[in-house]
Structure 1
Amino acid sequence: MDEKKLIEQKIFNNTDDYQDIMAIPYHHSKRHLPMNQLDRAFQFAPFGALEGFSDLIQQKTKDYARKKYLNSTEEDKIKRQLEYLTNHPRKVDISYFNDESGYYEHLKGYLQKLDWKKGRAEFEDTSIVILNIRLIQLLNNNDSPKKGS
């Protein structure tokens, strides 16, 4: 017999430590029905709650594959534009990556609130992650993008 089997046999077949409780009869509860075997097995599957989690991660990975990340110069430009909009309310056309859909979307509106701690810009009824903003264009009165912004 190999060494591993000898160790297993010594560990799992030695019941000397449990002789005092081996003869005690099993007590069946009068208040609770016995748990069925399937439910009993589930309590020993701690990662069962994470079932489907890897599929969700794969889907989000596919969604984020479409995202274009800005370089530091472009990020600084977006931050300066947002700072400008906090002091000079103007209607803008925002191109941003939507985390929910996994695609770029446009939003036309006015900046309501800028929260640097949370990294979010609030527009009327939409909150956008600042790092997801790709382009900010000022709009004229007739809602067409203004050149040079």
Structure 2
Amino acid sequence: MDEHSYDDIINLPNPTSKKHPRMSLHDRAAQFAPFAALTGHDAAIKETARLTDERLELSDEVIMRLNDQLNMIRDNIGTEQEVSITYFVPDDKKSGGAYLTHSGVVKKIDEFERKLIMQDETVIPIEQISEIQGEIFKGLYE
């Protein structure tokens, strides 16, 4: 290719339109910005991809064990017995939810509202509990 092929036009002035005003740099940059055709579509895809767990149905044996453990906790409130409670938290946006485990000391069992209130003010619905562990239960089912 010839090194001087544009010598005849290189110094000519840049043509400007007489009908249209010159576009600002901001407007020119907007032409190359990412385009989201559907507002909220990206969020909807992320929500669909978010995984949830199904709530497990507990056997009668497990329910009896949980009832025994809750009675033991109620009888020992005030003795600072630390327990770990695994419970189901339903998802607000789609079916299913997540299992969480919270460790701490039970401050109160509200039998009317059917919930545990932990010392750190965490509230756990009794019907969502799937497992309780703690030193207090050593020897209970051995």
Structure whose residues are more often helix by fraction = 1
Name the TM-score, length of structure 1 as normaliser: 0.47
Q: Which fold has the larger relative contact order, with Cα–Cα distance below 8 Å and residues 6 or more apart in sequence?
A: 2
Q: Which has the larger radius of gyration?
A: 2
